[in-house]
Structure 1
């Protein structure tokens, strides 16, 4: 794909009108040294145990979704792109009889088969209690990243990570996760001794660590806060973007919001943050492409038009 066409790229230029209008750039470069490093981020959220496609007679999503078709799409992208990350923003559990019977085993095995790189926890991932979640973790060949749930007095102690750094094409990508406040949303009998910590404060802590101390070139937050706040005083992805700095991308979940393209929000220091979410049930697979200077690893551009389609 990249070798035989031109792509429409939205450029993250410093104050330039190009950031709004886009720049038509040739994908063939004068020399290998000039060619940027391309990073492709694939993402899902709120897949809710939708292992099979919706029935053909479904009133809105007939025949859409299903892990087999998602795997086919993921493998197609991986065959075309060199540097790919596959991430999930939580609520993997609950929604079909697959979860009722298998308690999450099928979901984790399917994601492992697709070679997910990381996920965060959603509120429904506590539905079989934190112990049930912990029991399923051996079936997950990927890391759960949760920075604002203290799990030390639960069976999940030591089984999640606050963040992870991936290196693709020489670019360092820091990924962390934040979860929604559980009290009043999830039964205490399910989350047990899990302690919620302020999502904004933890996000600021993580971004400082990843950007300033670990020198990550791209920082991604897997958020299960919801695109907009459900109640006054709640956090959301929009608020998270506004009140923090150094997050480049928020991959959201919880609110089941279908965004046709990412929303751009200014952060606490007036820099752009991309916020994206692809609804629920694995109906869509999200994609973002980033381009970095090969030598300096400076972020040059992003392309949001490449892929954000129904799983058909």
Structure 2
């Protein structure tokens, strides 16, 4: 077996081969002469950046909004001559308005704001390759990923861009987390290369061949290790010298100051366009002399600093008018807030998770007239809170934005035990963390290992699981395909696609219930893990 050093060396060689094979698809010209500059003169560059937009077209709780963001960006451009506008990925999958039009509104707005480049995030691969191709064609900016290539070795769009400014040259390359292979559904023809090996090769190319003075990575990697061995932006910074700035996405991290690993700065702008990161470089003789950064909040619930940009607002308006015809229908009421908080569906039992899975069980039994023993879904499938009061189709669509079909699946009890052992092994905070229906009860004990729990006291319908019995359960097509690491589901003895999305099931359940009450009943007990 190869050790880690040997494996990484082989990965570096492989990445170099990929870079060579894909060279024709890359921006910039190898061997470009260095830019002209005045010796000793100080030049400046303002870098604006976002990440994990997730289809947040309109302000959420008074924060963000594409038109409002556009106003802030226009103001910075009016004040500074040298502005670079970047996004670290996950434009897709979020609000009902964005989902309804498959990200078309968001990309139009990014075009109007004149983004220089956007990284491919894992949620871009929630879509099939045909839609990705359509989004690439629609975008007036390049989509970057140096470690994702097509079957013919060419990049999915571009690996990097090179931009010349008065007195300096900047190279920007993109990276997409290898977690995409587990937590999304990329086309089987696409190849994903090692992030660190790819970055090492890209820095060499940008420094040596492109003669870039600054190298920036838009890295959809995250600052939270969701699984052992995952390459985070901190690991990238520690392993790859020569990167002047890492703009991180994926973990939705809300930084208030620069995070340094050695001399490499890492920044991230939270999520949903609530903030735009604003960084400023001072460059002398092609060398960074200073870097300052701050997150700029795009409005508050009770204070509007940035009014909507007229052009972006006008572009959004007809889409919203069309969507409102269906999405604004009230389907139920809630007696109180169904909390989501800091992605709590990935950390503990929450009322939303209980309601979603209990609703799936109701649909299977009462509508399909089928029997099932329990239901479960990945916590990452739940994306937002449900407020108190009247609830619309749009709000439920925002909670459950994915087009996931529900499956009725049969599996032997021995494999059901393995399923829940896997569920228990998932660290809190990972999207794979399960939410379950009332029929399933169990304890996850993180006492011995905070990153890998131990399953205890599992019961289904009040009884221990019989290894020799066959159980029927409800889940979604994403998990059935092995998404989020649920490979054990491939041991099923029978699987049936109901041809109904989980979102439509919960809308039907809400209409049936009329009043939804947020409550939990202790079906998932956590010992020794995170506390809230």
State the Cα distance separating 1:183 from its structure 2 match. 2.0
Is the Cα contact below 8 Å between 2:145 and 2:156 reproduced in 1?
no
- C-alpha change, 1:204 and 1:34, in structure 2 (3 Å) is closer
Q: State the partner residue of 1:309.
A: 296
Given candidates 183, 186, 195, the residue that maps to 1:185 is 183
Q: Distance in 1 between matches of 2:41 and 2:213?
A: 17
1:289 lines up with 2:280 in the alignment: yes
Q: State the partner residue of 2:53.
A: 47
Is the Cα contact below 8 Å between 1:165 and 1:175 reproduced in 2?
yes
1:237 lines up with 2:233 in the alignment: yes
Number of matched pairs: 261
1:199 lines up with 2:195 in the alignment: yes
Deviation sequence 1:53-101 (CA, Å, 0-9, x none): 01xxxxxxx2001001100000000000010000000000011112321
Q: Distance in 2 between matches of 1:158 and 1:231?
A: 27
Q: Distance in 2 between matches of 1:172 and 1:205?
A: 18
5 Å-filtered alignment, 1:148-187, equals: 148-152=147-151, 160-181=157-178, 182-187=180-185
Is the Cα contact below 8 Å between 1:38 and 1:289 reproduced in 2?
yes
Q: Distance in 1 between matches of 2:241 and 2:41?
A: 29
Q: State the partner residue of 1:25.
A: none
5 Å-filtered alignment, 1:15-94, equals: 36-54=42-60, 62-94=61-93
Higher Cα Rg, which structure: 2
Q: State the partner residue of 1:278.
A: 269
Q: Distance in 2 between matches of 1:175 and 1:183?
A: 24
The 10-residue stretch of structure 1 (230-239 or 123-132) with the greater mean CA deviation from structure 2: 123-132
Aligned residue for 1:183, secondary structure, equals: helix
Aligned residue for 1:184, secondary structure, equals: helix
Q: TM-score, normalised by structure 1?
A: 0.80
Q: State the partner residue of 1:12.
A: none
Q: Distance in 1 between matches of 2:156 and 2:223?
A: 27
State the Cα distance separating 1:158 from its structure 2 match. 5.5
State the Cα distance separating 1:33 from its structure 2 match. 8.1
1:253 lines up with 2:249 in the alignment: yes
State the Cα distance separating 1:168 from its structure 2 match. 1.7
Aligned residue for 1:308, secondary structure, equals: strand
RMSD: 1.7
Is the Cα contact below 8 Å between 2:90 and 2:121 reproduced in 1?
yes
- C-alpha change, 1:99 and 1:299, in structure 2 (3 Å) is same
Deviation sequence 1:2-48 (CA, Å, 0-9, x none): xxxxxxxxxxxxxxxxxxxxxxxxxxxxxx98651110000000000
State the Cα distance separating 1:225 from its structure 2 match. 0.8
Q: Distance in 2 between matches of 1:108 and 1:186?
A: 20
Structure 2: any 5+ residue segments left out of the alignment?
Answer: 1-37, 300-532
Aligned residue for 1:160, secondary structure, equals: coil
State the Cα distance separating 1:159 from its structure 2 match. 5.3
